[in-house]
């Protein structure tokens, strides 16, 4: 069964360093919170809001041992008026037997406002 594991984090400023640090933190918590191994992952989508364009956040994935061959792509979020800015979002497609209600979705920093309804979410 393939499950979607979601997460998001806000970034302090539009710099390569800030984007990569935040993305790495988000990916680490998604991976650790769900005990994900790279060979379980079908693909990863990473999106940013329009105000984050200093680097490709997918570069953060390269810091994880064994994740070299996991397909990952970056894309842009829709520019909806009054939506959360300075935000990186992740959708990881994972092969797992974990029931959908037990998947740990991770929302960090200002992104905690995006899915307050997910009771098993990590929010810091």
Which pLDDT belongs to residue 122? 58
CATH number assigned to the domain comprising residue 93:
3.30.1330.40
Average confidence (pLDDT) per 10 residues, the chain, 124 residues: 97 98 98 98 98 98 94 96 97 97 96 81 54
Residue where the block lists tokens 């400023």:
13
Number of helices (H) and strands (E), helices first, in the chain?
1, 6
pLDDT at site 116: 85
Q: What tokens were used for 119? A: 């009771």
How many structural domains is the chain composed of? 1
Q: What is the pTM of this model?
A: 0.94
Q: Which domain holds residue 106?
A: 2-123
> Hey, which residues are catalytic here?
6, 62, 74, 77, 89, 107, 115
């Amino acid at each position: 069964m393939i499950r979607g594991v979601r997460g998001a984090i806000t970034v302090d400023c539009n710099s390569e360093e800030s984007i990569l640090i935040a993305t790495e933190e988000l990916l680490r918590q998604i991976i650790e919170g769900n005990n994900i191994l790279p060979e379980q992952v079908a693909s990863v989508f990473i999106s940013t809001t329009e105000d984050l364009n200093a680097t490709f956040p997918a570069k953060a994935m390269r810091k994880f041992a064994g994740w070299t061959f996991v397909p990952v792509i970056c894309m842009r979020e829709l520019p909806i008026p009054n939506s959360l800015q300075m935000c990186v979002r992740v959708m990881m497609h994972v092969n797992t037997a974990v029931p959908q209600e037990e998947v740990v979705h991770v929302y960090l920093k200002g992104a905690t406002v995006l899915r307050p309804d997910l009771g098993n979410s990590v929010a810091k």
